[in-house]
Amino acid sequence: MFWTIPTLMTWTRIVAIPLIVGVYYFPGLTPAAQNEIATIMFVLFAVTDWLDGYLARRLNQTSAFGAFLDPVADKFLVCASLLILVHMNRVHVLVALIIIGREIAISSLREWMAQIGASKSVAVHMIGKVKTTVQMVAIPFLLFDGMLLGLIDTRAWGNVLIWAAAVLTVWSMVYYMQKALPEIRARVK
């Protein structure tokens, strides 16, 4: 099921990366316009994360390839956006390293656990979903980098949320590592 509607929507998140980066290099756009366009693009592409899963289940178009590609696309979109924000001095490099490092570590752990037949021990947990939600709100706030509706200072709120996401990132990584530890101990002996 390589070319289903849900899978094509997942591919759009990967295609979005150079488009979002490109907005900041497009000549003739003011910084405010760049921020608005990048924010709108990020939000639209991020919504496809929820929508492709919903459609895959609704249209009975789930597939192993889609299940593989979906988290990869999410990680690419988040990591690329964090790198943009670090480059623009809107996110501390430590936050980006924590979030990106966790994604690499947990993805590797999940792959290894799947190979040894213990993938259920590191299945997605609520703490991981909360972490993802917080970072998916923080990133567009930081991309926007201004006053939203004249009321919300998105940089201030985005910084609070991205640091909260970093804390949740560490917490979720510890949780998944604890769940995997019995299997790791059993295999290392």
Burial (CB count within 10 angstroms: exposed 0-12, middle 13-18, buried 19+), residue 181? exposed
- Count of CB atoms within 10 A of residue 63's CB? 14
Q: What does residue 153 show for φ and ψ, rounded to 5 degrees?
A: -80, 100
CA 58 to chain centre: 23
Look-up of token digits 């690419």: 76
Mean pLDDT for 20-48 is: 92
Q: What does residue 152 show for φ and ψ, rounded to 5 degrees?
A: -110, 120
- Rounded CA separation 167/4 (Å): 36
Q: What does residue 125 show for φ and ψ, rounded to 5 degrees?
A: -120, 165
Mean pLDDT for 24-45 is: 93
pLDDT band at 153 (very low <50, low <70, confident <90, very high): very high
The ranges assigned to domains in the chain are 1-89, 92-189
Q: Under the phi-then-psi rule, with left for phi > 0, alpha for psi from -120 to 50, and beta for the rest, what region is 10? A: alpha
In tens, the pLDDT along 79-94 reads 999 999 999 999 999 9
Tell me the HSE value of 142 on the side-chain side, using a 13 A CA sphere: 26
- Residues counted in the chain: 189
CB 95, CB 168: distance < 8 Å = no
- Rounded CA separation 172/160 (Å): 18
- Rounded CA separation 73/79 (Å): 10
Mean pLDDT for 17-21 is: 91
- Rounded CA separation 83/49 (Å): 20
User: Is the pLDDT confidence value at 108 over 90?
Assistant: no
Question: What is the share, in percent, of the chain residues with pLDDT greater than 90?
Answer: 41
- The overall average pLDDT reported for the chain is 87
Mean pLDDT for 59-70 is: 80
Residue-level pLDDT at 57: 84
